[in-house]
Chains A and B, each alone.
Chain A
Amino acid sequence: MTTDVLGSPVKRVEDPRFITGKGRYLDDIQMTGMTYMAILRSPYANANIRSIDTSAAKAMPGVILVLTGADVPYNPLPMAWPAGGSSGVQNNINMPRALATDDVKWTGEGVAAVIAETPEQAADAVEVVHVDWEPLPAVVDTEGATQPGAPQLHENAPNNVVFVWTVGDKAGTDAAVDAAEVVVRQRIVNQRLIPNPMEVRGDIGLYNPGTDEYTVWMSSQTPHIQRLLLTAFVTGIPEHKVRCISPDVGGAFGTKIFCYADMALVMLASKLIGGRPVKWVETRRENYQSTTHGRDHVTYLEIAGKRDGEVTGLRVKTYANLGGRLSTIGPGVPTTLYARVLAGCYKIPNVYCEVTGVYTNTTFVDAYRGAGRPEATYVIERAMDLFAAEIGMDRAAVRRKNFIAPDAFPYDNPSGLGTAVNGEKIYIDSGNYEPALNKALMTVGYDDLDKAKAEARTRGKHLGLGLSTYIEVCGVAPSKWIGAVGEGWGAAMWESANLKVHLTGKVILTMGTQPQGQGHETTYSQIIASELGLAMDDIIVQHSDTLGTPFGYGSYGSRTSSVGSTAAIKAAGKVREKARRYAAHMLEASVDDIEVVGAEYRVKGSPEKKKTLQEIAFALDLGFSLPEGMEPYLDETAYHDTPNCTWPFGTHIAVVEVDEDTGKVDLVRYVAVDDVGNKINPMIVDGQLHGGIAQGVGQALWEEAIYGDDGQLLSGSMLDYALPRASWMPNLELDETVTPSPVNPIGVKGVGEAGTIASTAAVANAVIDALKPFGVRHLDMPFTAPKVWRAMQSQEVRS
């Protein structure tokens, strides 16, 4: 049923509104009677609250309501993914509060909320809420927080340990490491990042006293999930009394997956003030302090192998900083989403990983673009380079030697996803890694690397090249697997689609997924146009509103193109089948004799006897004449649970130049060969890769959330946190191999995270390669000029 539109780089249907200033983001929504909420945030990283005096704030002009933790009947917020799910791992859980009650655990935790007639009045009144604080010593260091003598955050978490979670065969891996010819050990830090979608978060709560119903507009990746969490797990309000709407979302990168205090507060406040709408939009400073951060691992890696390049074991111990309290899926990210892909695209027989989740007096950490998989890729790709350097073997050759062979799929990764409810193993289902590596090496001119390095030296530069041969697990996730382990949301993760062909032949697809810039309206339209033989103009895609869209788990984990699209294809298949049965009725033919060609339903052998989909829809939607047992209207809903995740892979190569005088690192070339399976819209796929690569490059070279020892966020604004700028990035050279995914009918794998997962390690390996003449074996990110310069001073140039 495919036509040219599927797989074509068609222009996005979303764009006219965005390029003309007619997008509608949360803060663009105005309502009659709107009130504005501002939140008082803790100035201390660790403190007890002796008392809060709101009397002066209540007396300020325009103030309608002041809330403290004592006024909020629902605390805390949910945490849905303990480490190990339901497998019995002990998790010492401390969940976030709607507003602090007795204590705060990081600078920026919400303490009081003011609702006023204008945003300025609310902000002014927050300034005069008086809190009697008892400041306590803070701890911000990821590994140090677990050491004796560190300040203790929570009574139920001795040594600030959230959990100790393990995966893989410890005895086998210990034996492999003990027996190995070569073992390379390295401590590596994957620094904390601030995700920085360009649109900050915000919500509007509206309570209707006449119906006792709530509507919540939220800048969210998961409006359906939020309705579920806010009702069943936070407020106790019946689920059917709450409607959640995500308007246009200006980027998210994971931060808008989660359940946040402000969502509950705008609901409560609107009710308490008699149903006036309450709007809250965070400032960028608040976004930095109280919307989730990403990464923040300290890892001790040991890679073991033979001198011929064969890797025989990987033993990893990781400390993962989760912040002062646990965000919605915080513990799941550095466990399942990290260690289960730690061996990457390599056939490593013995893998063992121990992860210690850690509380510190910092903002909570949760999924950020790639979520666990960039951290895993960073570990294994640094490990492969360290191992290659140790045995004096070419980096590409070591990778090639250890790739899982193309005929080894389905491949049972020793630290992999394990077993589903029905006893089925969740394998890495497909892959062919060497062609992507070879293509990338060819494009970058790997054979001429020494020549390029020599040429760079004539210009006062040290050139370095870095490889990252990655895989990722995307298209999350089979519900049968989640059911077995209690991971993910602790709930299912299928997707949904409803497809209606209306009386006039126009088509509306409503989806449970939630775009944040990915162009879902375009790609879904392409799919339906292809499936039903229609023009894209005749199709509109709706999403983002729990009223009128089927329940869906939302968009994250590169799941929409694989799981969501398959739901849409299934709905289209049901529509086509019903149309075919009705065409048989209209044409007085047997159903078996109706063939579908594009949008035409023809009697085989009599091509003049035919009905178009529009003609069928018109008659069927009216329903004047229906065959026995058929209901009127061409309206079908489908749910799709994916049989497996998808496993994109590829090779990224970064080329950097380090200035010999200043240590400044320039990214001069970036080559990416990605295998994301088939593509619905290659233009959109490339765009996802571009943006993902830039975020990963940002981590390698510039970005770092830094706390002072007292828990103050020193990188607390865009002035202090270095986001990639246009002039810092080169043009990106993209190429592909195509290994279709076997788990969905169009063979797509998802591409939202691939760029970020691959690129950080590629750039890091390039910088460290450039510093090889200085005897540098490893250096932690970000590779800022002062850090690199200092590393260069530590040893004279050998060459």
Chain B
Amino acid sequence: MTEQVRLTVNGVPRDVEVEPRRLLVQTLREDLGLTGTHVGCDTSQCGACTVHLDGRAVKSCTVLAIQADGHVVTTIEGMAPDGGLHAIQAAFWAKHGLQCGFCTPGMIMSAADLLESNPDPTDDEIRHAIEGNICRCTGYHNIVAAIREAASTLRAGTDVPAAANA
């Protein structure tokens, strides 16, 4: 038994046929080939699968694909659709906010959600906002620095996308 689901993913309408038990993260990764969203656990703890559903961060391992029917999904691949970098992506690069890179997409999506609602967070607010995203490589120090820098860039309105290969 499958269900027809229509999602708008990174601005593009996508129709997929899914089993009712299929998770949004499986649909993104396996049906739509968007493998930037990762699976790091099986208990909704690690946050590697964080995407935006109608503009808010959700753990896509905890959303069924059929629940997302008719909704708008943004993944890491949609953060800077023109091949450039979103200010948060640029800041993670500049501040060495990643090492193995596995948690990074989810971390960036959580950071984007934070900065949408709180453009000038304190370090404590940043640390609290990414509490649902586990990083085992960085000790969070440089992730916090990256989000702080991204907030500053976004507030200054100088979000000129840099080329990804610059």
CB distance from A523 to the nearest CB of B (A): 12
- Residues from chain B with a CB closer than 8 A to the CB of A253 are 136
CB distance from B112 to the nearest CB of A (A): 12
Of all chain A residues, the one with the shortest Cβ separation from B48 is A198
Residue of A198, A283, A694 near B102 (CB, 8 A) is A198
Q: A250-B38, A717-B42 are in contact. Are A695 and B136 (CB under 8 A)?
A: yes
A62 lies within 8 A of chain B by Cβ = no
C-alpha spacing A249/B101, complex, angstroms: 9
- Considering only residues 5-34 of chain A, those with a C-beta below 8 Å from chain B are 9, 11-12, 14-25, 27-28, 30
| 12 more CB-based (< 8 A) A-B contacts, given A19-B108, A687-B99, A694-B138 | A17-B101, A20-B76, A196-B136, A198-B136, A251-B102, A284-B46, A517-B137, A686-B142, A691-B136, A691-B137, A731-B123, A731-B141
CB distance from A108 to the nearest CB of B (A): 14
B154 lies within 8 A of chain A by Cβ = no
Q: Are B41 and A691 in contact (CB under 8 A)?
A: no
Q: Are A718 and B41 in contact (CB under 8 A)?
A: yes
CB distance from A372 to the nearest CB of B (A): 20
CB distance from A116 to the nearest CB of B (A): 15
Q: A14-B101, A21-B35 are in contact. Are A726 and B42 (CB under 8 A)?
A: no
- Residues from chain A with a CB closer than 8 A to the CB of B33 are 30
- Residues from chain B with a CB closer than 8 A to the CB of A101 are none
CB distance from A36 to the nearest CB of B (A): 11
Q: Are A198 and B35 in contact (CB under 8 A)?
A: no
- Residues from chain B with a CB closer than 8 A to the CB of A731 are 123, 141, 144
Q: Are B140 and A729 in contact (CB under 8 A)?
A: yes
- Residues from chain A with a CB closer than 8 A to the CB of B123 are 731
Interface window among B52-60, B62-70, B86-94: B86-94
A197 lies within 8 A of chain B by Cβ = yes
Mark contacts of B123-151 with chain A using CB atoms, 8 A cut-off: 1 yes-contact digit, 0 otherwise. Answer: 11011101101111111111110000000
B121 lies within 8 A of chain A by Cβ = no
A568 lies within 8 A of chain B by Cβ = no
Residue of B30, B36, B85, B100 near A251 (CB, 8 A) is B100
Q: A199-B40, A516-B100, A684-B96 are in contact. Are A726 and B143 (CB under 8 A)?
A: yes
Interface centre among B43, B135, B140 (most CB of A within 10 A): B140
Q: Are B98 and A198 in contact (CB under 8 A)?
A: no
Q: Are B138 and A687 in contact (CB under 8 A)?
A: yes
Residue of B77, B138, B141 near A21 (CB, 8 A) is B77
Residue of B39, B93, B128 near A16 (CB, 8 A) is B93
CB distance from B90 to the nearest CB of A (A): 8
C-alpha spacing A36/B77, complex, angstroms: 26
Residue of A15, A196, A519, A724 near B139 (CB, 8 A) is A724
Residue of A20, A516, A686, A688 near B85 (CB, 8 A) is A20
B164 lies within 8 A of chain A by Cβ = yes
Q: A11-B93, A19-B85 are in contact. Are A729 and B139 (CB under 8 A)?
A: yes
- Residues from chain B with a CB closer than 8 A to the CB of A284 are 40-43, 46
- Residues from chain B with a CB closer than 8 A to the CB of A451 are none
Q: Are B36 and A199 in contact (CB under 8 A)?
A: no
- Residues from chain A with a CB closer than 8 A to the CB of B29 are 27-28
C-alpha spacing A251/B93, complex, angstroms: 18
C-alpha spacing A19/B79, complex, angstroms: 10
C-alpha spacing A19/B90, complex, angstroms: 8
A459 lies within 8 A of chain B by Cβ = no
Q: Are A198 and B103 in contact (CB under 8 A)?
A: yes
B158 lies within 8 A of chain A by Cβ = no
- Residues from chain A with a CB closer than 8 A to the CB of B108 are 19
Q: A20-B77, A519-B99, A717-B42 are in contact. Are A690 and B138 (CB under 8 A)?
A: yes
Interface centre among A11, A120, A198, A718 (most CB of B within 10 A): A198
Q: Are B127 and A727 in contact (CB under 8 A)?
A: yes
A171 lies within 8 A of chain B by Cβ = no
Q: Are A718 and B100 in contact (CB under 8 A)?
A: no
Q: Are B139 and A732 in contact (CB under 8 A)?
A: yes
B4 lies within 8 A of chain A by Cβ = no
Residue of B45, B75, B103 near A719 (CB, 8 A) is B45
A613 lies within 8 A of chain B by Cβ = no
A-B contact pairs, 9 of them (CB 8 A): A15-B98, A19-B105, A22-B77, A284-B41, A284-B43, A688-B99, A723-B134, A731-B141, A732-B139
Q: A12-B93, A20-B80, A726-B133 are in contact. Are A718 and B46 (CB under 8 A)?
A: yes
B27 lies within 8 A of chain A by Cβ = no
A421 lies within 8 A of chain B by Cβ = no
C-alpha spacing A679/B1, complex, angstroms: 58
Q: Are B38 and A25 in contact (CB under 8 A)?
A: yes
Q: Are A16 and B41 in contact (CB under 8 A)?
A: no
Number of interface residues of A (CB under 8 A): 59
B34 lies within 8 A of chain A by Cβ = yes
- Residues from chain A with a CB closer than 8 A to the CB of B89 are 19-20
Q: Are B141 and A249 in contact (CB under 8 A)?
A: no
Of all chain A residues, the one with the shortest Cβ separation from B94 is A11
Residue of A283, A517, A691, A732 near B42 (CB, 8 A) is A283
Mark contacts of A714-749 with chain B using CB atoms, 8 A cut-off: 1 yes-contact digit, 0 otherwise. Answer: 000111000111110101100000000000000000
- Residues from chain B with a CB closer than 8 A to the CB of A22 are 36, 77
- Residues from chain A with a CB closer than 8 A to the CB of B94 are 11
By Cβ-Cβ distance, the 4 closest A-B pairs, closest first, are A21-B36, A517-B100, A18-B101, A250-B102
CB distance from B28 to the nearest CB of A (A): 10
- Residues from chain B with a CB closer than 8 A to the CB of A683 are 96
CB distance from A621 to the nearest CB of B (A): 26
Q: Are A694 and B139 in contact (CB under 8 A)?
A: yes
Of all chain B residues, the one with the shortest Cβ separation from A9 is B96
- Residues from chain B with a CB closer than 8 A to the CB of A198 are 38, 40, 46, 48, 100, 102-103, 134-137
C-alpha spacing A27/B93, complex, angstroms: 24
Of all chain B residues, the one with the shortest Cβ separation from A253 is B136
Interface centre among A19, A27, A519 (most CB of B within 10 A): A19
Of all chain B residues, the one with the shortest Cβ separation from A27 is B39
- Residues from chain A with a CB closer than 8 A to the CB of B36 are 20-23
- Residues from chain A with a CB closer than 8 A to the CB of B43 are 284, 717-719
C-alpha spacing A22/B85, complex, angstroms: 13
- Residues from chain A with a CB closer than 8 A to the CB of B39 are 27
- Residues from chain A with a CB closer than 8 A to the CB of B77 are 20-22
C-alpha spacing A198/B79, complex, angstroms: 22
Q: A198-B103, A690-B141 are in contact. Are A727 and B131 (CB under 8 A)?
A: yes
C-alpha spacing A196/B136, complex, angstroms: 7
A77 lies within 8 A of chain B by Cβ = no
Of all chain A residues, the one with the shortest Cβ separation from B36 is A21
A206 lies within 8 A of chain B by Cβ = no
Q: Are A21 and B34 in contact (CB under 8 A)?
A: yes
Q: Are A16 and B96 in contact (CB under 8 A)?
A: no
Q: A19-B108, A694-B140 are in contact. Are A727 and B124 (CB under 8 A)?
A: yes
- Residues from chain B with a CB closer than 8 A to the CB of A690 are 138-142
- Residues from chain A with a CB closer than 8 A to the CB of B80 are 20
CB distance from A374 to the nearest CB of B (A): 15
Q: Are B164 and A20 in contact (CB under 8 A)?
A: yes
Interface centre among B133, B137, B143 (most CB of A within 10 A): B137
CB distance from B122 to the nearest CB of A (A): 12
Q: Are B93 and A19 in contact (CB under 8 A)?
A: yes
Of all chain A residues, the one with the shortest Cβ separation from B128 is A727
C-alpha spacing A23/B35, complex, angstroms: 8
Mark contacts of A692-721 with chain B using CB atoms, 8 A cut-off: 1 yes-contact digit, 0 otherwise. Answer: 111100000000000000000000011100
Q: Are B101 and A726 in contact (CB under 8 A)?
A: no
Q: Are A726 and B92 in contact (CB under 8 A)?
A: no
- Residues from chain A with a CB closer than 8 A to the CB of B34 are 21
- Residues from chain A with a CB closer than 8 A to the CB of B130 are 726
